[in-house]
Amino acid sequence: MSADLPHLALRIDGARLLDRLQALAQIGAYQGPNGEPGCSRLALTDADRAGRDLVVSFMREQGLQIRIDAIGNVLAIRPDHRGRVEQPVLAGSHIDTVRTGGRYDGNLGVLAGLSAIEAVARAGIATRRPLAVAFFTNEEGARFSPDMLGSLVYAGGLPLDEAYGIRGIDGATVGDELRRIGYAGSAACPGPVPAAYVELHIEQGPVLEAAGLRIGAVTGVQGISWQEITITGQSNHAGTTPMALRHDAGYAAARVATFVRELACELGPPQVGTVGQITLFPGLVNVIPATAKLTVDLRHTDEQSLQQAEARLREFAARLAQQEGVQITSRSLARFAPVAFDPQMIALIESTAQRLGASTQRMPSGAGHDAQMMARLCPAGMIFTPSQRGISHNPAECTAPDDLILGANILLQVMLTLAQSEALLPSP
C-alpha cells in the first residue's frame, strides 16, 4: 500500500492524551503491592459504567455522533465532507480491564483514537470518509467468557441473545448487567461494516523493548483456546485415608497444571499454556478435595499446532481420570483460530511509522484483541508501542509517555491516509 501523507506534520495533542489516560485510570484505581498505579474495571461493573460515562463525555466534548449498540459497544463518529457517517475509518479498543490491570491496556487505543479525530477536526480537514472511534464491551473476558465479546457480536460471530445469557464469574448475566449500567443501547448488532479498522495497543510483551524498537506493525493474532476443567473426586478425612485409596480432585488439578506447563515447554515457542485459576471444594486443611475447577489458556500462532496441544491435554486428562479414579470434564470458554491481518494495512502501518521516524518491526500479537474480530468485516491492522519490562495485566504495566504519543500520531496518520486516499480503499 503506497500512500501520500499530505498532512504529515499534523500531530495529536500529546498533553491532552496523557491527561485523559490519567483521568480514566483514576476510575477503578488501586495500588499494587509496591504502590504501582493499577486499574481494576471489570466489564459491566459500576467502575466500567463510570469509565464509559467519562469516555462518552470526551466524545460529546468533541461533538461526535454517538451510537450505542445492543451489546454496549460505543461508537463515536465524525461525518465525512458530505455529512455521511457510513463506512468510517474506525479506530478502537476497549476500556474494561482484568481485575489486576494497568492503565494502558485497551484505554490507549480508545483515547488515542479520540485524539486523532480531534487533531483532524482542529486542523479543519474535511475527510472523504468518516472517522470514528469505538470501545467494545468485555474485551478482557476476565468477568464474562469469551473475551472480545463486544467485537465478536459486532462482527456477527455470536448472536445477541446468546451473548446476553452468558453468566460471569459472579453469576450475573451480560444482559442483566448491560441493562443495569444503562449501556444496552438501541443500535443493531451485528454492526455496520467500517471501511477499515486500526487499533493502537501496548505490546504487553518484551519484544520491542528488547530489540530497542519503538513500533510494532502487527501481522496477526495467535489462536486462543480457553477451557474450564472440572474434576470430581471424593472428599474424605485427610488423616485417616491411606494415600493409595484417595480420589483427590486437588491432586489431579495440580497434575493438570503441571502438565500444561510441561506441554508448552516441550512443544516450544510460540506455544504457551497457563492455568490461571484453581478452585478447590470444600477447601479445608483437613479434607481431601471433592472437586476442583481450573482454567486452561492455550495459545499458538498456528491452528494445527493449537489443535495438537488441545488433543494432548485431552489424552492426559483421560489417563489421569483413570489413574486417580476421578471424573474429568471440560467446557470451552473461548476458542478463536489465529488471525492474519490485511497485508496492505500492515504495510501502511509500517511505512507510516517509518515516515514519522520510528524504528519498526513486524510481529504477531500474543494477546487477543478486538482487531481480530473486526478483521472478519474489513481490512484491519494494529500498531504496538513498547511495554516496559514486557509487563501487562499487572498494575506495573507502563509505556513511556513519548511512546504513547508516538503511537497515537502514527494512528492519526494511518487513519487520515485511509480516510483520504482514493487508492487504498474502494470509493465511499
Residues in contact with ligand GLV by the rule CB under 6 A: 139-141, 147, 367-368
Minimum CB distance to Mn ion, residue 338 (Å): 17
- 212's grid cell: 530497542
- 362's grid cell: 513486524
Nearer Cβ to Mn ion (88/109): 109
Minimum CB distance to ligand GLV, residue 147 (Å): 5
Residue 418 interaction partner, one of Mn ion, ligand GLV, none, beta carbon < 5-8 Å per kind: none
Contact residues for 48 (Cβ-Cβ < 8 A; gap 6+): 41, 42, 95, 96, 181
| Bridge partners, 134 (sequence order) | 75, 92
The secondary structure element, H or E, covering residue 401 is helix 401-420
Residue 223 interaction partner, one of Mn ion, ligand GLV, none, beta carbon < 5-8 Å per kind: none
Residue 80 interaction partner, one of Mn ion, ligand GLV, none, beta carbon < 5-8 Å per kind: none
Cα 17 from chain centre = 20
Nearer Cβ to ligand GLV (106/289): 106
Minimum CB distance to ligand GLV, residue 369 (Å): 7
Minimum CB distance to Mn ion, residue 77 (Å): 22
Strands 131-135 and 89-93: parallel
Nearer Cβ to Mn ion (256/383): 383
Minimum CB distance to ligand GLV, residue 226 (Å): 8
Minimum CB distance to ligand GLV, residue 98 (Å): 8
Residue 48 interaction partner, one of ligand GLV, Mn ion, none, beta carbon < 5-8 Å per kind: none
Nearer Cβ to ligand GLV (87/225): 225
Minimum CB distance to Mn ion, residue 321 (Å): 33
Minimum CB distance to ligand GLV, residue 368 (Å): 4
> In this structure, is the dihedral angle defined by the CA atoms of residues 401, 405, 408 and 414, taken in order, positive or negative?
negative
Q: Which of 27, 140, 144 is nearest to 392 (CA)?
A: 140
Cα 385 from chain centre = 15
Residue 147 interaction partner, one of ligand GLV, Mn ion, none, beta carbon < 5-8 Å per kind: ligand GLV
Residue 248 interaction partner, one of ligand GLV, Mn ion, none, beta carbon < 5-8 Å per kind: none
Burial of 308 (0-12, 13-18, 19+ CB in 10 A): middle
Nearer Cβ to Mn ion (128/201): 201
Nearer Cβ to ligand GLV (77/294): 294
Report the C-alpha gap between 64 and 131 in whole angstroms.
Answer: 10
Minimum CB distance to ligand GLV, residue 277 (Å): 13
Q: Which residues bind Mn ion (CB under 5 A)?
A: 105-106
Nearer Cβ to Mn ion (107/227): 107
- Please count the other Cβ atoms lying within 10 Å of the Cβ belonging to residue 167: 12
Minimum CB distance to ligand GLV, residue 139 (Å): 6
- Please count the other Cβ atoms lying within 10 Å of the Cβ belonging to residue 332: 12
Nearer Cβ to ligand GLV (141/185): 141
Indicate the residue type of 249: A
Q: What is the dihedral of CA 54, 60, 64, 69, to 10 degrees?
A: 60
Residue 416 interaction partner, one of Mn ion, ligand GLV, none, beta carbon < 5-8 Å per kind: none
Residue 203 interaction partner, one of Mn ion, ligand GLV, none, beta carbon < 5-8 Å per kind: none
Nearer Cβ to Mn ion (106/194): 106
Residue 209 · residue 230 · CB < 8 Å: no
- 118's grid cell: 480531534
Nearer Cβ to Mn ion (96/118): 96
- 219-236 burial, b at 16+ Cβ within 10 Å, e below that, comes to bbbbbbbbbebbbbbbbb
Contact residues for 55 (Cβ-Cβ < 8 A; gap 6+): 24, 74, 95, 110, 111, 114, 135
Sheet bearing 223-232, strands edge to edge: 272-281, 291-300, 223-232, 327-336
Residue 368 interaction partner, one of Mn ion, ligand GLV, none, beta carbon < 5-8 Å per kind: ligand GLV
Residue 12 interaction partner, one of Mn ion, ligand GLV, none, beta carbon < 5-8 Å per kind: none
- Around 36, how many Cα atoms within 13 Å sit in the side-chain half-sphere? 18
